[in-house]
Structure 1
Amino acid sequence: MKKIFLASTALFLLCATSVVIGQNTRFSDPDTVVKEQFWGNLYADGGNSFFCDTPFTSKGFVLTDGYVYPLADIRSALDCGTSRQCEQDNHYRQIASDLHNMIPVRSRTEMQRRNVRYENLGETINRDDCGIRESAGFFEPPERVKGDIARTVAYMVETYDLPWLGSTPVFQGWNRLDPPDDTELTRHRRVAEIQGNENPFLTNPDYMEQL
């Protein structure tokens, strides 16, 4: 009887500390979400570019919709074919419509991030004017958004069963280095209101240590 009680207690504690993750179920048309919800709602009054922290009042020609977990990597993970072929895949369309993963970035910066992995590159690599380090297929973001990236990547990995885009300990370190600030929390609340689900790694950053 004692063994049964202990087993039940252990199961309860495991369930109590497990990460409960919902996913985007409202949107499955990426183009419409980008136009109407991302630029037309979330950033309708402007904001700051994600990596460079440059203020903007409207999209303009230097900004684009970027993705913390790049769409090319999502297509590769799903093995759904070319961009056009993946756009016919409902699962891909749902993932590509997830606002938690979308960020406003400079078009030039987004081009730099293709086919790269997140990593700590060290002081031997100089940062650019936005605080970014890049070398040989690796990308280190500015210190102030490392936690944002870690928590978003964790959300995408755990929600959609995608592979990590770097070493898990690196993301855990970034999460500790850069805890959620008011800007990140405010944006998260807006996304949750629009899309209907939260990122538990942002509302409870300690969940990152369970990965």
Structure 2
Amino acid sequence: MPIIRSNIQWNREHTWAKSHGDFGTSKGPGTDIHHLRPTDVQVNSSRGNLDFDNGGSPINNFDECKRASNSFEPPNRVKGDVARILFYMATRYEQGDKVDLELNEKLGNGSAAYHGKLSTLLKWHEQDPVDEFERNRNNVIQKWQGNRNPFIDHPEWANLIWK
């Protein structure tokens, strides 16, 4: 069970780390609502720009989150959400856009426009299926931004593309 803190401070997490492609907060990938999520400041700071994978040590006060030297593992309840966000970003931003984002198997992608670890993301996608929260979020984002995350509407597409 997570520890509840009364002094939680929130900030905006870029699920696809801004430095992975060096797009910062520029219009397009830097402001795409599909990958912006509220998160605890401590958790976001611990994650930094790490790629996603299983394992590591629990983060202080957030036992469900784990951090290793080259990866970050979010809580089970959002692993599929994270995977589908990254699937969206990798298909939405292609050559000819501000940046061509791609998923790969590597950890420690640095400033390259890659995010890993694809095999782990595909497992998370299966283990944590789309839920009502994600569907509602997708509907709200469509009203604001005018597009949808197709991997929420059609989860089967992830395996068609990457398996």
Deviation at 1:127, TM superposition (A): 6.1
**Aligned position for 1:151:** 84
Q: 1:167 maps to which residue?
A: 117
- The separation in 1 between residues aligned to 2:59 and 2:49, in whole angstroms, is 19
Q: Which amino acid in structure 1 is aligned with residue 65 of structure 2? A: I
* Distance (whole Å) between structure 1 residues aligned to residue 87 and residue 102 of structure 2: 10
Aligned CA-pair RMSD: 2.6
Structure 2 alignment gaps of length 5 or more: 94-99, 104-114
Residue 168 (structure 1) shift: 1.7
**Residue 116 in 1 paired to residue 116 in 2?**
no
Q: Which has the larger radius of gyration?
A: 1
2:131 maps to amino acid:
D
Out of 185, 190, 200, the residue aligned to residue 140 of structure 2 is 190
Aligned residues of 2:81 and 2:134 also touching (Cα < 8 A):
yes
Change (3 A) 1:207 1:128: farther
- The structure carrying a bigger strand percent of its residues is 2
Show the counterpart of 1:63: 10
Q: Which runs of 4+ in 1 moved over 6 A?
A: none
TM-score, normalised via structure 1 length: 0.60
AA in 1 matched with 2:159: E
Which sections of structure 1, spanning at least 5 residues, go unmatched? 1-51
| 2:159 is equivalent to residue 209 of structure 1 | yes
Cα distance in structure 2, aligned partners of 1:163 and 1:208: 13
Counterpart AA for 1:72: S
Q: Write out aligned runs for 1:98-113 (5 A).
A: 98-113=32-47
Partners of 2:80 and 2:52 in 1: CA distance: 12
The one-character-per-residue Cα deviations of 1:92-122 (angstroms, maximum 9, x if unpaired) are 4221110001000111111111131100117
* Structure 1 residue 61, shift from structure 2 partner: 7.6
TM-score calculated relative to the size of structure 2? 0.77
The structure with the largest helix share of the pair is 1
Q: In the comparison of the two structures, how many residue pairs are matched?
A: 142
Q: One-letter code of the match for 1:194?
A: W
